[in-house]
Structure 1
Amino acid sequence: MAASLMEKFAESLGSPEPAVRLMLSILIGYPCALVYRKFLFYQPATVIHLFHTFSGLALAAFNFGSQIYHSAVCVLVQFLMLRLMGRTVTTVLSSFLFQMLYLLAGYYFTATKDYDIKWTMPHCVLTLKLIGVSLDYYDGRKDPSQLSLEQKKAGLLSVPSLLEMCGFSYFYGGFLVGPQFTLRSYQRLGGGGAPPCPSIIPAMKRFGLGFVCVVIYATFSPYFPNSYFLSDEFPFWYCCVFILLWSKVMLYKYVSCWIIAEGVCILSGLGYNGVVDGKHQWDACANMKVWLYETTPLFGGTIASFNINTNAWAARQVFKRLKFLGNKMLSHVTTLLFLTIWHGLHSGYFMCFFMEFLIITVERRALVTDSPLLTKLANSALYPLIYVVQQIIHWFFMGYSLVPFCLFTYDKWLKVYSSIYFCGHVFFPAVYLVIPYLRKVLVPRKELSQKKQE
C-alpha cells in the first residue's frame, strides 16, 4: 500500500518515483539532524553512531530496498582490511582495488542506456569515502613533519570501530548524494561538548536556496528533454541555443540536491568550519559556490564552484599523491581518468572529461593578463559586452561538453556532435594552435622574456 501511495504521489508531481523518493530522503535529513542536535548531542558516541547508522539504513532501504546489502558488504570488508592489514601500502591498494572493482561491477550489471536512480548512485559516493579512510589511516603512521596540513587534519591515529565506520558511511547528510567529508570530521559529531553555535538559520538559508533551484529545474526541465537531441535535425544555430539553455537547466538537478544536503550537514553541525573575522563559518560541507557558479565567465571557475568536495577529494587523495610522477600534466590526466571511471563505464563520460581537459588546457594559456591591450579592453567600458559574449561562449561549450555525459552511449552523443559539426572539437584545438602566434603579436617582448624566466 505504501508503494502504491508513493507511486500516486510521484504521478501527481509528474516526476519518476525514484526521483521523488530521493528528494524526500534528502529532506528527511532535516528532522534527523534536529533530533540529533536536540536530544542526542550530549549522548555517548555509541548512541550517536547507532542513530546515524539506523537512520541512514532506513533511508537507503526506502530508496533501494534489499539492495542495501551492497553498501553493507563494502563497509564490512573495509573495516576488516583496516583491522587485519594495518597501516600498510597493501591495505591502501587492496581497499582501492576492491572498492573500485565492486563499484564498476555494479555499473556493468545494472547499466542501461538512460539515467537511472539505483543503488550504484549512493555507492559511488561511498566508494570514495571508504578509499579515503584507508588513505587517511595510512597517513596516521607518518611523522607529522612529512604530512601536509590537509593530511594532518584528516589522518587517523587509530582504527575506527565497526559502529563508527557504519555511522560515517550511512550518515543521512551525505550517504545519498554527498558531500564528501573525512572520518575525522564525522568523529567530531560524537565528541560531546557544546554545539558550536545555533545552526538553524544558516541551514534554512541553504534549504531555501536549494528549494529555489528545485523550482527552476521542475519548471523548465520539461521544455528541455534529452530526447530532443535524438529527434529530427534542426538548424545549427537552433541546436546551439538549445544546448546552452539545456545545460543551464539540467545542472540545477545536481545543484539543488547538493545545496539541500549541505543544509542537513549544517544543521547537524558537520558543516561548521570555525570562526573567521569574528563570523561563524558553515562551509565545511559546501558542495556549491552558487554566486561563483552563476557569474564566472571561465570554465575553471565553473569547475571550482561545482561539486567542490568531490573535486577536493580527488585533488587531495589522487592528484597530490601522484607528485612522485614529477609531471603536473600527467597527474592531472591520471586524476581525470580516475574520475571518469568512477562516474561509470559509458563512453560519454570519457568524452566529457576529455573535453574538460582540452578546454581547461586552452583556457590556462589565456593572454589577457599578459597583454596590455587585452587588459585595457577588459577594464574598459566595453567589458559588459565582452562579458556577455564570453558567458555565451562559456555556457555553450559547457553544454557541449555535458552532452555525452548525459546521453551516455556513443550512438547518441555522436549524433548530436555530428549535427553541430563537432564545433567544440574544432574550436579548441584551433585556438590552442593559434595562441602562440597571437602571443607574439599581443604580448610585448619584455613581457614574453619575463614569462619565460618565470
Structure 2
Amino acid sequence: MAVTAGSELTLLQETAAAVGSSEAALRLIVSIFIGYPLALFQRWYLFGKEAHLTYLFHIVTGLLLSYFNFGYQMCHFLLCVVLQFLILRLMGRTVTAVFTSFSFQTIYLLAGYYYTATDEYDIKWTMPQCVLTLKMIGLAFDYYDGGKAQDKLTKEQQQLALYRVPSFLQVAGFSYFYGGLLVGPQFSLRCYQKLAEGTMTDVAGQRPNSIMPAARRLGLGLFYLTVYAIIGPYLPDSYLLTDQFLDQPFWYRCVYLTIWGKIMLYKYLTCWLVTEGVCILTGLGYNGMDASGRPKWDSCANVKVWLFETTPLFTGTIASFNINTNAWVARNVFKRLRFLGSKIISQAAALLFLALWHGLHSGYLICFSLEFLIVIVEKQAIDLVHESPLLTRLTTLPALKLPLYIAQQSIHWLCLGYPLVPFCLFTWDKWLRVYMSIYFIGHVLFLSLLLTLPYLRKVFVPRKEKLKKVE
C-alpha cells in the first residue's frame, strides 16, 4: 500500500468500501482511467514536438503513478530499468547481454514473488514488475537482432530490431509509459519510438483519427466492468472452499465453475480494453491500413472480444485472450527454441515460462499444465474429425450444427473454468479441495481422450487418409 496523507487515505478507503473493492484495486482502476486525460494532453500539446518531451512526459507521469500505487516500493521498477540500460550499453549486441537480461529480470521478479507472496491475490509492486520483465527481455532480444544480417532475421524480427543503442530517455519512457505501465499491453521499443516521433498516425504529419476507435474500446471496457461489478460479487472465489458449495449436487458444482470462470475473466477484459483505448488515443494502437485502405487500431489489442465470446474452441480462447503477452512468448521463447527440433518441447517450455512469470504458487503450474494437455487433445480431436469422412459428414449436417455447437460450447466453458481453479486459488490445499469435490472431471476427461483418440483414429480414419497425412 502506498504511503499517503491521512485525509487521502481515508477518502480512498471510504470510496473502496462503498463500491465493495480493496483500496489497492481502486488505486489501480483510477490509475488506468487517468490514462485518458494524459493521452488527450499528449495529443494536443506534445504531438509534433521534439521526441524527448514525450519521453520526459511519460517518465514523470509514470513515476507519479508508480508512487501513487506502490509508494517507495516503486524503486524496484526503477532499479531494473536503470540496470537494463547499463546492460545494453556495457555488453552491447551479445548473447551475454541477452542471457544476463533474461536471467536478471526473471530472477528479480521471482524473488519479488517469493518475498511478497501470500495465499490471496494482492495488488503489489510485482504486478507492474511482471509487465516490465517482458519489456526488458524483449528489448535485449530486439537490440541483439539489430546486429544480425537481414537475411538471418524473420520478417517480424526485421520490423522490431533495434539498429542503434537506445538512449536512457527512450528506455525509461518506454518502461514508464502510462498506457502500458500497470497491466500492459506489451509493445516494442520501435513502435514506442515511432509514437514519440509522431509517425504512429493514419494521416502523416497530423494527429491520428483515434478518438472514436479509443472510445469504442473504452465503451466495451465499461460494459465488462459493469457486468463484472454486478455479477462478480455473487460468484466469489471463496465460495468454492465452503461446505455449502461441497453440499451442492455434482451438476451444480460443475455449472458454478463454468459460469464463475467466464465471469472471472471479465476483470481482465476490463483492464485490457480500457488500457487499449488509452494506447489507441495516443496513436500507439495504429497498425497500418487494411485492404480497403481503412486504418487499423489493433496494434495494442490484448483481447479479440467477438472471438472470445463466440469461439467453441479452447485454442480459440487462447488466440483471443492476452494476445500481446502470448505473442511475446511465442516470439521470444517458443520460436527462439526451434533449435531443439521439437515443437512439443518448445511449447512446453513456453508454458512453463508463462507459469513462472505469473508466480511461484503451485496453482499456476497446474493451470498451464492443463492448458498444455487440453490444447494437445483438442488438436488431435479436430484432426480426427477433419480426416474422417464419416465424422466430417456428421458435423456438417445442418440439423446437427446448433446442437453440436451448444455441446461444444458447454464443454469449452467448462474447460475455461476448470484450469482457472488453481490459477485463482494458488495453493495446493485449496485447488485440490475443489478438484476433489468434482472428482477431477477435467483430468479424467482429457487424459481419457488423450489415451483413446489414437484408437478412434484407427476406427474412423481410412488408411488412405492416413497415408495422405504422412505424405
Which of 210, 234, 239 is 1:199 aligned to? 210
Aligned to 1:426: 444
Alpha carbons 1:199, 1:266 under 8 Å: kept: yes
Structure 1 position 427, deviation (Å) = 1.0
Q: Does 1:208 align with 2:225?
A: no
Q: Does 1:110 align with 2:116?
A: yes
Structure 1 position 79, deviation (Å) = 0.3
Change (3 A) 1:154 1:386: same
Q: Does 1:417 align with 2:435?
A: yes
Alpha carbons 2:47, 2:207 under 8 Å: kept: no
Structure 1 position 196, deviation (Å) = 6.0
Aligned to 1:377: 394
Q: Does 1:130 align with 2:148?
A: no
Distance of 2:425 and 2:12 partners within structure 1: 28
Q: TM-score, normalization: structure 1?
A: 0.98
Q: Which runs of 5 or more structure 2 residues have no equivalent in the other structure?
A: 1-6, 200-204
Aligned to 1:152: 158
Distance of 2:180 and 2:391 partners within structure 1: 44
Aligned to 2:168: 162
3-state SS of 2:335 partner: helix
Alpha carbons 1:29, 1:173 under 8 Å: kept: yes
Q: Does 1:293 align with 2:308?
A: yes
Structure 1 position 129, deviation (Å) = 0.1
Aligned to 1:393: 411
Alpha carbons 2:43, 2:207 under 8 Å: kept: no
Distance of 1:2 and 1:42 partners within structure 2: 37
Aligned to 2:24: 18
Q: Does 1:32 align with 2:52?
A: no
What amino acid maps onto 1:36 in structure 2? Q
Distance of 1:103 and 1:144 partners within structure 2: 33
Structure 1 position 197, deviation (Å) = 3.0
Q: Which runs of 5 or more structure 1 residues have no equivalent in the other structure?
A: none
Distance of 1:343 and 1:326 partners within structure 2: 27
Runs of 4+ in 1 over 4 A off after TM superposition: none
Structure 1 position 10, deviation (Å) = 1.0
Q: TM-score, normalization: structure 2?
A: 0.95
Which of 257, 261, 271 is 2:271 aligned to? 257
Structure 1 position 213, deviation (Å) = 0.3
Alpha carbons 1:44, 1:192 under 8 Å: kept: no
Alpha carbons 2:377, 2:450 under 8 Å: kept: yes
3-state SS of 2:48 partner: coil
Which of 75, 78, 85 is 2:84 aligned to? 78
Which of 100, 105, 126 is 2:106 aligned to? 100
Aligned to 1:237: 251
Structure 1 position 192, deviation (Å) = 3.4
3-state SS of 1:398 partner: helix
Distance of 1:195 and 1:88 partners within structure 2: 39
Change (3 A) 1:46 1:14: same
Deviations 1:96-141 (A, max 9, x none): 1110111001001100000000010111000000011011100000
Q: After the TM superposition, which residues 327-342 of structure 1 pair with which residues of structure 2 at under 5 Å, given as runs?
A: 327-342=342-357
Deviations 1:318-340 (A, max 9, x none): 11100111111111111111111
RMSD (Å), alpha carbons: 0.9
Distance of 1:205 and 1:192 partners within structure 2: 23
3-state SS of 2:337 partner: helix
Distance of 2:206 and 2:66 partners within structure 1: 28
Identical amino acids, percent of aligned pairs: 60
Residues matched between the structures, number:
453
